[in-house]
Amino acid sequence: MSSMQDLQARVAAVLALAPVVPVLVIDELKDAVPLARALVAGGLPAIEVTLRTPVALDAVRAIAAEVEGAAVGVGSVRKPSDFTDALKAGATFAVSPGSAPGLIAAARDIDLPWLPGVATASEAMALFEHGYTQLKFFPAESIGGATALKAIGGPLPELRFCATGGIGAHNAHEYLALKNVPCVGGSWVAPAAAVKAGDWGKVEALAREAVALRG
């Protein structure tokens, strides 16, 4: 079993791969591999597949096995068994919208890096007491946006946040300019219409634009 310090280092390494982590809701399993390949080709190798559809875990399994260069994770983790399912599917990290006590306890017993979600300074401080330094700030735009994250960074300089929720090409740069934000999460790089049409060139182009947001 890896130490908390090692697990946090592994999360930090994922968040450092690119300025944007695509957050995907995959409805059709056939789309998983070509979608992931387009994102990786565009420079976004860290990919979060949310557990919001019946094919999500199979999509993770396919991406892990077939897409070279992808660091695929599982998002929308809400219960302890999700950790086990994610690890079995080949996920390299897990992401949650929040940080329920049951998840915190379960995360101690599995060798899978976890990015728990927070919405307040108190939640961030509580997770820091458990050894977490890499957190998800969600839903970012609804809870103060980049201004709030900048303020939190003052008294909590040890923490780093992947901001997610309401973020797109129009405002990602506001978050990426902050010292405590290594990356943001968003779905705009894989629009539903492009995925449905199999327009992987469009997805790759959006990924390249997202990489350039860091400046």
Annotated catalytic residue 136: yes
Residue 20 amino acid letter = V
Q: What type of residue sits at position 28? A: E
Which spans in 90-199 are helix H? 101-107, 121-129, 145-153, 172-176, 192-197
Q: Which of 28, 48, 141, 202 is catalytic?
A: 48
Catalytic residue, candidates 28, 79, 88, 136: 136
30 counts as catalytic: no
| CA 103 centroid distance within chain | 17
CB atoms within 10 A of CB 213: 15
Strand-strand pairing, 183-186 and 20-24: parallel
Just list the catalytic residues.
48, 136
